[in-house]
Amino acid sequence: MNLDRIEVKQKTGNEPLTFSQKETGKKLIDFWKWSVSDILSNATRGRFAEFIVATALDIDPTNVRDEWSSYDLINSEGIKIEVKSASYLQSWYQNKLSEICFDIKKTRKWDEKTGKYSDTPSREADVYVFCLLNHEDKKTVEPLNLDQWKFFVLSTSEIDNYKRSQSSITLNSLKKLTKEISFDLLRDAIIEQYEHSK
């Protein structure tokens, strides 16, 4: 029995679901539409934020997202990036806008060779990108419109030295530590924070 890691290749969406060697009439794209059309959903928005940052860095999307990596992205220069997302708006009913707070807790690294987590929590990324869906009207919110997003970039060393909390950071605290930027400035900001932290 071979239990080595499976090499995941990007699918097209046209792959059919089959049963008894016959197609069911549904394809993988139908599952994608069914499962991730709600981009405001916390889990989906988090993955979409990773895709936005990968797009800004021109990371090849055929390199499929690794669910078990100790950081979210790595660019062509070898910068390891952790992506966090937040939004004022949620899919469900709200009686007020959500408070903006990002998780920055250290985590235990998964070792795929041993099949175990590390004993000591750490931050494996070089840079953190905080992605805020900065829109407050449910009638006009559109996560695909990158003009509705704002970004904050901090080196991991700055987060390690953050005195207030080592588990989360608020929007107000982020604004004191770094400037808010738009999508077109994201790539340069990531490289700048990485080089500044050396």
Is residue 164 very low, low, confident or very high in pLDDT (cuts 50, 70, 90)? confident
Residue 3 belongs to a domain: no
Domain count, the chain: 1
Residue 161 backbone dihedrals phi, psi, to 5 degrees: -90, 0
> What separation, in Å, do the N-terminal and C-terminal C-alpha atoms of the chain show?
45
The pTM (predicted TM-score) of the whole model is 0.93
Structural domain contains residue 86? yes
Look at residue 137 and tell me if it is in a domain.
yes
Mean pLDDT of the chain: 94
pLDDT surpassing 80 at residue 113: no
Within a domain: 33: no
pLDDT per residue over 18-64, tens digit each?
Answer: 999 999 999 999 999 999 999 999 999 999 999 999 999 999 998 89
Domain that holds residue 167: 38-196
Listed in sequence order, the residues at least 6 apart from 68 whose beta carbon sits closer than 8 Å to its beta carbon are: 110, 112
Q: Is 25 within the bounds of a domain?
A: no
User: What is the 3 state secondary structure string of 172-188?
Assistant: HHHHHHCCCECHHHHHH
